[in-house]
């Protein structure tokens, strides 16, 4: 059976690595790549959507990134225990009218013994921001290692 290391049970170090891997994948904005870390029957809650399975998650991500332009995300480990990881995150994007937004949220993740995510429950709030209020300025793609994280940015 294929695995997606690190696998549970998670330590602070392995959970931090798993969180950064998730951030890196989401910053590609490639739904076909992102869905490969979830189980075939993954269950999500994301705002008012409840996708089940990789295909519904992929469709969700396609819609998301078609609307959320120049998307940049930072995730940070909040806690972990056994096969679960709690994450806080923030991301910035603009819509097709050039209005910028910053979204803040928390995610609870549960993994199977092979390291694939079975459940992802996200609670998200967002607010419009001025372009001058942006904090995430790296080129589209992976956040550079030297870029500040959420805590260092005061978020």
Quote the pLDDT of residue 1: 73
In 3D space, the residue among 98, 101, 76 whose CA is nearest the CA of residue 89 turns out to be: 76
- Domain range enclosing 112: 12-133
Quote the pLDDT of residue 69: 98
Domain count within the chain: 1
Q: What pTM was computed for the model? A: 0.96
Say if 71 falls within a structural domain. Answer: yes
CATH number (domain holding residue 57): 3.10.450.50
Low-confidence ranges of the chain (pLDDT < 50): none
Task: Give the list of residues 6+ apart from residue 13 with CB closer than 8 angstroms, or none.
Answer: none
Tokens (6 digits) for 117? 């995510």
């Amino acid at each position: 059976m294929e695995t997606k290391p690190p696998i549970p049970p998670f330590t602070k170090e392995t959970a931090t690595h798993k969180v950064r891997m998730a951030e890196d994948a989401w910053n590609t904005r490639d739904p076909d790549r992102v869905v490969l870390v979830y189980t075939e029957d993954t269950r999500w809650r994301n705002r008012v959507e409840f996708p089940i399975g990789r295909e519904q998650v992929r469709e969700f991500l396609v819609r998301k990134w078609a609307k959320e332009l120049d998307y940049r995300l930072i995730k940070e480990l909040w806690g972990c225990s056994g096969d679960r990881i709690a994450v806080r995150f923030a991301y910035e994007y603009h819509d097709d009218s050039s209005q910028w937004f910053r979204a803040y949220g928390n995610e609870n993740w549960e993994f199977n013994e092979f390291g694939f995510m079975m459940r992802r429950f996200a609670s998200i709030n967002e607010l419009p921001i001025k372009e001058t209020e942006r904090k995430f300025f790296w080129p589209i793609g992976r956040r550079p290692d030297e870029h500040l994280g959420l805590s260092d940015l005061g978020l």
